[in-house]
């Protein structure tokens, strides 16, 4: 069953490259005074909430931080560009609600034009409150699309009782979302994975697959037809949780299917939480390391040509500098 709702055209005006705008966004949204941006287009004021109700000071502070971090990710990885139609995947959890909310805020102030459409895939899980998202999205007044596909029965038929169903469920969901993106003409698919998800996935791969990889902020699908973006790549889960609570999002639990939580991910999450408690700031360091790779100091010959490495007269940028820079206690 498919339900497509009226698409609302955004206001049109003269705008400039989004990446350029988001590169100056942090200074803009943190200011309490009017600032003239460097394109001399318009006066930019602190970003307003997605509803007409004024935010309290604590909520506005969190929103400002989230806007800054999302804007930074958009600028660093060119996640959204002029003319994009971004399909925001909405599950009903705190992360996807926060993603949509912040993108709506940024959309109104971005100096270029991009469209947003919220999409939910109702997988026919028992007890799923199918009225919640349509009511919420209608109240916001944004375009959205709801599609019902019974992937729940498929998963239950193929996965033995008591085992984790999340992996198969995710693959089935991804296939439908790619198809929907094509049908809607979406140029980008925005997912709500945050910084904690990325770090946890890094350690899951290290511990259990023997691979040094995580979740990228931008990904092209295998068939090359879709670009997946993760604007929350720099955002901590705790900030999203606080923001969702203060904004009062109508959260839909993700365990309606009755599946056991991924025990490996649960262990990694607990491990990282304990590590952060013992060494505050280590999560920040891990996140920074994901964008600060030194291939010549690893062991993958596909990334660095070790076989051809010989002595050289000139100074090398990396070389054995690491021997002189031991981490401080």
Mean pLDDT of 289-310: 94
Residue 9: pLDDT over 60: no
CA distance 108 to 102: 10
The CATH number of whichever domain residue 88 belongs to comes to 3.40.50.620
Specify whether the CB–CB gap between 148 and 96 falls below 8 A.
Answer: no
Mean pLDDT of 269-277: 95
Q: What is the pLDDT of residues 233-242, one digit of tens each?
A: 999 999 999 9
Q: What is the pLDDT of residues 24-68, one digit of tens each?
A: 454 444 332 223 232 222 222 333 334 446 889 999 999 999 999
Q: What is the pLDDT of residues 250-262, one digit of tens each?
A: 998 876 454 555 6
Residue 291 included in any domain: no
97 vs 150, which has greater pLDDT?
97
Specify whether the CB–CB gap between 1 and 147 falls below 8 A.
Answer: yes
Residue 247 included in any domain: yes
Residue 181's domain spans which residues?
14-264
- What is the count of structural domains for the chain? 1
Residue 314 included in any domain: no
260 vs 139, which has greater pLDDT?
139
Residue in 84, 104, 62 with CA at minimum distance from that of residue 17: 84
Name the pTM for this structure: 0.79
Neighbours of 205 (CB within 10 A): 15
Q: Which residue has the tokens 């009062």?
A: 248
Residue 170 included in any domain: yes
Residue in 65, 145, 101 with CA at minimum distance from that of residue 251: 101
Residue 196 included in any domain: yes
Kindly tell me the burial class for residue 153, based on how many C-beta atoms sit within 10 Å of its own C-beta (0-12, 13-18, 19 or more).
exposed
- The confidence score (pLDDT) of residue 122 equals 82
- The confidence score (pLDDT) of residue 135 equals 94
- Mean pLDDT of all residues belonging to the chain: 80
CA distance 144 to 87: 9
Non-local CB neighbours of 76 within 8 Å, separated by 6+ positions: 217
Q: What is the pLDDT of residues 15-26, one digit of tens each?
A: 444 545 555 454
- The confidence score (pLDDT) of residue 6 equals 39
Residue 212 included in any domain: yes
Q: What is the pLDDT of residues 190-234, one digit of tens each?
A: 999 999 999 999 999 999 999 999 999 999 999 999 999 999 999
CA distance 135 to 140: 9
- The confidence score (pLDDT) of residue 164 equals 63
CA distance 193 to 141: 25
User: Strand 188-190 relative to strand 227-229: parallel, antiparallel, unpaired?
Assistant: parallel
Confidence of residue 70 (pLDDT cuts 50, 70, 90): very high
User: What are the structure tokens assigned to 200, written together?
Assistant: 């946890």
* Spacing of C-alpha 318 from chain mean position: 32
157 vs 245, which has greater pLDDT?
245
Specify whether the CB–CB gap between 286 and 200 falls below 8 A.
Answer: no
CA distance 300 to 211: 11
Alpha helices in the chain (DSSP H): 18-29, 57-77, 94-109, 132-140, 151-158, 166-184, 195-208, 237-247, 263-278, 282-289
3-state secondary structure of 147: strand
Confidence of residue 313 (pLDDT cuts 50, 70, 90): low
Residue 275 included in any domain: no
Residue in 28, 31, 50 with CA at minimum distance from that of residue 41: 28
Residue 166 included in any domain: yes
């Amino acid at each position: 069953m498919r339900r497509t709702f009226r698409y609302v055209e955004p206001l049109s005006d003269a705008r400039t490259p989004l990446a350029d705008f988001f590169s100056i966004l942090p200074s803009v949204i943190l200011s309490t005074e009017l600032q003239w941006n460097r394109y001399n287009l318009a006066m930019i004021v602190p970003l307003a909430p997605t509803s007409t109700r004024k935010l309290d000071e604590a909520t506005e502070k969190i929103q400002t931080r989230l806007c800054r971090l999302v804007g930074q990710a958009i600028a660093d990885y060119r996640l959204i560009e002029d003319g994009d139609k971004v399909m925001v995947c909405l599950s009903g959890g705190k992360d996807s609600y926060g993603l949509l909310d912040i993108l709506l805020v940024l959309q109104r102030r971005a100096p270029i034009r991009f469209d947003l459409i919220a999409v939910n895939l109702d997988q026919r899980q028992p007890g799923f409150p199918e009225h919640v998202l349509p009511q919420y999205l209608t109240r916001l007044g944004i375009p959205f699309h709801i599609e019902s596909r019974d992937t729940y029965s498929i998963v239950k038929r193929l996965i033995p009782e008591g085992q984790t169903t999340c992996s198969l469920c995710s693959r089935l969901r991804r296939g439908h979302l790619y198809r929907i993106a094509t049908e809607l003409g979406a140029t980008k698919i925005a997912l709500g994975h945050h910084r904690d998800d990325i770090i946890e996935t890094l350690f899951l791969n290290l511990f259990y697959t023997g691979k040094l990889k995580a979740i990228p902020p931008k990904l092209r699908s295998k068939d090359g037809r879709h670009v997946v973006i993760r604007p929350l790549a720099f955002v901590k889960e705790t900030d999203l949780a606080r923001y969702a609570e203060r904004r009062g999002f109508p959260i839909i639990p993700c365990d309606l299917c009755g599946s056991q939580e991924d025990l490996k991910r649960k262990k990694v999450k607990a491990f990282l939480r304990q590590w952060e408690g013992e060494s505050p700031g280590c999560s920040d360091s891990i996140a920074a390391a994901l964008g600060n790779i030194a291939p010549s100091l690893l062991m993958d010959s596909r990334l660095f040509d070790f076989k051809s490495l010989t002595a050289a007269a000139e100074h090398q940028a990396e070389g054995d500098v690491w021997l002189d820079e031991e981490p401080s206690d």
